[in-house]
Structure 1
Amino acid sequence: MKLTNQQKALVEKVKEIAKRISIRNREVDRSGEFPWDIFGIFKDERILSLPIPQEFGGQSAGSLECCLVLEEIGRLSPSSAHMLAGHWLGFTPLELSCNTSQKQRYFPRLTQELSAFSLTEPAAGSDAGGVITEAIKDKDNYILNGTKIYCTQGHVASVITVFAKTSPEKGVKGLSAFIVEKGFPGLSIGKIEDQMGMRGTPAAELILQDCIVPKENLLGEEGEGFSIAMKTLDRTRPKDAAISVGISQGTLDYIIDYLKKKTFMNEPMARSQGIQFLLADMAIAIEAARLLVYESAIMIDEGRVSTKHSAMAKCLATDTAIRITDYAIDIMGNDGISEEHPVEMFMRDSKLLQILEGTNQIQRLIISRNLLS
């Protein structure tokens, strides 16, 4: 696939940014704290605002451009790439469903502030119909009550898309979406996850206790929440996949450099035919995943959004990243599990991507049902 000159320039710009921020990888991984300095770089370099329309201060970048950026950053700093993907996940339902007034109110802010997406609950993970958070209309407001979990960056986001039932008796048809701001009365932050991977972008528990949300912050119409959530995920799963392609490529780059310097029984390890077979398999798998990610992103940009292709891209790319990092650790032996090398961190980061935005088991169900329909 041939990139435009503008896309090539974007990739080169991001490549330099990735080098700058990757020096913080280990420190962020150990602390598990959100890296505001890296957020500041993304904001100042106008990477944060890429998909936001130009009329609101963004760059109007398409899905492919966003995936190229995430892949490049993911090669060196997966957690930093995940910060961007989490923000763009939070922005996507607004992009899809905001009215003119909401766009004017929130789009300029999201070129400077962080957004998040909150659907998951203790009893509602893969099954969105299990959401029990309620939103009751009270004159000019909705009153939200419930608990959300695993909201990526929810503790630091200024604007969060929250899904709640306005008509619980209707199941998923009673689910609605709301724009909830950090300072709204009744919203508080609970547990911050101490997670195995993507430790710079921890997930948070959101507690909604008589949370007052103005009626003008309803996103779309009542009952459209499930549709908004599914349309969002169709557009954001390729972005998670792009990070995984970046992790896989970064791992392959690292292991090739490692093998060129390493010897075994007075012979360069790179001369081992068994290792060469593994390297070939890694390169083949990465290229296949990359092409599927690009195809799904291009389809989105062309208005041919495919639930099946987005699920396939997410499933293949995230599974590939786990396999590639596992191969790399096998090749490196004890070095592979040492903090002196990034591969063990890449593996931990990869695992999270298999789970979020619908586990890969759910992706396989989506794909198979699409094939059988």
Structure 2
Amino acid sequence: MNLELSDEQRMIQAMAREFADKEVRPVAAAIDHEARFPHDTVRRMGELGLMGIAIPEAYGGSGGDTVACAVALEEVAKACASHAIIMSVNNSLYCEPVHTYGTEEQKKRFLTPFASGQRLGCFSLTEPEAGSDASNQNTLAARDGEDYILNGRKIFVTNGREAQATLVFAQTDRAQGHRGISAFLVERGTRGFIVVKTEDKLGIRASDTAELLFENCRVPRHHRLGEEGQGFTIALATLDAGRIGIAAQALGIATAAYEASVAYARERKSFDVPIGQHQMVQWMLADMAVALEAARMLTWRAAWLKDAGRPFSAEASMAKLFAAEAAMKITTDAIQVHGGYGFIKEYGVERHFRDAKITQIYEGTSQIQKLVIARHLLAAPEA
């Protein structure tokens, strides 16, 4: 693995950083406070090619790779975690599976306008009884001639209210358990596809998190993604890739909190010296720096393995686990470094603290990541 970014990756990183600093950071606090979806800047992300970074140019993407996507996500997340998750979901949880498993007809309709940022996609897997146990799907898809009739409810769908299409997982054969789950592409406006509500959240407040209802929703057979019964395989493979994106998001959140803490430690004085001269503050900053470097290397390695076509599931879980835990610890310590000011919205680190928490939960909790890693460790070695 080459630890140096390529010229193209550095260019994408620099572009994302400039965009985040000039256009995202100035609105981040306001859209968080108002829980307002950032339509204008999301549209701008599409224009810059950030909504389909690893998708080939032939399908509306930027023709980059997973490493480029990770470094861009980190830069966006430093400015605003809400923008980063909107971007990550469209890249990893929507465009990637459509590109990997879709037919040419599906790619034309459900990929090209989404990878180019003209439209927005989302991923509908979680249900009231199917969170960490994603195989426990209660949404049903019954064959009716050349169509499927979908009935069920999905929750915690990022981009769910704003997306023009969603990738939905449903049981087509209950008797087959997880082998009876299939995946479907459903467009907004389809009769029986209803956005029930959006959630009022602790963090990532400018992204929308929706509950979706499918009530006798008729979906053409040619909108099924992959083969019947392939849905659970598609879901797990998609989540592996998505975890790299969440690791990058966590890394960006943590970096923002760390940089704010270093700046504050240089300026704020106590006992007639900058607080950065006090050993306990120095220790906190040193721990932050070490955790950030380790998280970045784990994230880049998982991305590099994916780009190299090598197995990366365990590495993606390691990256997400470590980066999420690091983000929560770093943002907590950032508030401590800032003291009482860290508890006040004006200083911004409390937003990073609130945003960091979700990285330990979505796309597989930290506890689920440990299970995934352990199963890989204990699997029988290949002959």
How far the C-alpha of 1:235 sits from its partner, in A, is 1.1
Aligned 8 A contact 1:235 1:305 in 2: no
Aligned residue among 313, 320, 325 for 2:319: 313
State the distance in 2 between where 1:51 and 1:184 align.
Answer: 29
Q: Does 1:253 align with 2:259?
A: yes
Aligned residue among 51, 55, 77 for 1:52: 55
Aligned residue among 135, 139, 146 for 2:145: 139
Matching residue of 2:42: 39
State the distance in 2 between where 1:128 and 1:290 align.
Answer: 28
User: 3-state DSSP class of the match of 2:205?
Assistant: coil
Matching residue of 2:127: 121
Q: CA RMSD in A?
A: 1.0
How far the C-alpha of 1:49 sits from its partner, in A, is 2.8
Matching residue of 1:77: 80
User: 3-state DSSP class of the match of 2:346?
Assistant: coil
How far the C-alpha of 1:281 sits from its partner, in A, is 0.9
Aligned 8 A contact 1:164 1:175 in 2: yes
How far the C-alpha of 1:136 sits from its partner, in A, is 0.5
* Structure 1 residues 310-332: Cα deviation after superposition (integer angstroms, max 9, x where no partner): 11110000000000001111111
How far the C-alpha of 1:139 sits from its partner, in A, is 0.9
**TM-score normalised over the length of structure 2:** 0.96
How far the C-alpha of 1:234 sits from its partner, in A, is 1.0
Aligned 8 A contact 1:22 1:76 in 2: yes
State the distance in 1 between where 2:376 and 2:12 align.
Answer: 35
Matching residue of 1:267: 273
Count of aligned pairs between the two proteins: 373
Matching residue of 1:107: 111
Q: Point out where structure 1 has 5 or more consecutive residues left out of the alignment.
A: none
State the distance in 1 between where 2:52 and 2:246 align.
Answer: 18
Q: Point out where structure 2 has 5 or more consecutive residues left out of the alignment.
A: none
**TM-score normalised over the length of structure 1:** 0.98
Letter in 1 for 2:9: Q
Letter in 1 for 2:267: K
Matching residue of 1:90: 94
User: 3-state DSSP class of the match of 2:78?
Assistant: helix
Matching residue of 2:16: 14
Q: Does 1:5 align with 2:7?
A: yes
Letter in 2 for 1:14: A
Letter in 1 for 2:295: A
Aligned 8 A contact 1:7 1:65 in 2: yes
5 Å matches for 1:283-298? 283-298=289-304
Matching residue of 2:31: 28
State the distance in 2 between where 1:4 and 1:308 align.
Answer: 25
Q: Equivalent pairs: percent with the same residue?
A: 37
User: 3-state DSSP class of the match of 1:347?
Assistant: helix
State the distance in 2 between where 1:199 and 1:142 align.
Answer: 34
State the distance in 2 between where 1:184 and 1:90 align.
Answer: 18
Runs ≥4 in structure 1, deviation > 4 angstroms? none
State the distance in 2 between where 1:155 and 1:208 align.
Answer: 14
State the distance in 1 between where 2:31 and 2:124 align.
Answer: 24
State the distance in 1 between where 2:132 and 2:233 align.
Answer: 15
